[in-house]
Structure formats: C-alpha cells, structure tokens
C-alpha cells in the first residue's frame, strides 16, 4: 500500500525488538545508524526503553512497562489502519 513507513510503525518495530543490541535493532528495522540512534535517544528520553549491560561488555535495549503499553496501542492502531502485519500477541 505505502512504500514509506510512518514514525509510529518504526517505533513499533523498535519496541518489538526486546532485549537486543543496537546493531540487531538496526538490521531488523532497516534503519541507518544515525536514524536508529535518534529514535533510541527519543525513546529513552521518554522512558519507553532503557539501556542495560548484557554481561559480555555490550549493551542491550529493554522495553519499559510504559513502552509495552505504547507497543500495544500502536499495534492496535496499525492493525485498524491496515498499515502493517504485526503480531497480535502484543495487542
């Protein structure tokens, strides 16, 4: 239907990559490093994700309770609008 993804669709994709490193999120969401960094900064500033150490010296991004709530709402909205094929488990 649309070639470009909307900001809510991109945010939903990021929120659905629970507990992953920045590189994994970047590849899964098909964002460039600068784009992903901007999104992650915004999501962290708003308390939707947090950065945690992963035990091997790296960092992973965890979705907060507030982020899970937003993910559920975005998933419902995108499914109502027919914007993407997202898991119903998050709805």
pLDDT of the residue at 87: 46
What is the rounded CA–CA span in Å between residue 29 and residue 80?
Answer: 21
For 6-29, the three-class secondary structure string (H helix, E strand, C coil) is CHHHHHHHHHCCCCECHHHHHHHH
Indicate the length of the chain as a whole number. Answer: 91
Which residue is it, tokens 């960094």?
37
For the stretch 6-59, pLDDT in tens is 898 899 999 999 889 999 999 999 999 999 999 999 999 999 999 999 888 889
* Reported pTM: 0.82
């Amino acid at each position: 239907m649309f070639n470009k993804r909307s900001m809510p669709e991109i945010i939903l994709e990021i929120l659905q990559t629970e507990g992953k490193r920045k590189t994994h999120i970047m590849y899964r969401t098909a964002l460039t490093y600068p784009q992903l960094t901007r999104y992650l900064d915004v999501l962290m500033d708003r308390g939707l994700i947090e950065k945690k150490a992963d035990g091997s010296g790296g960092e992973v991004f965890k979705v907060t309770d507030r982020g899970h709530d937003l993910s559920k709402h975005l998933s419902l909205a995108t499914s109502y609008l027919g914007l993407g094929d997202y898991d119903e488990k998050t709805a």
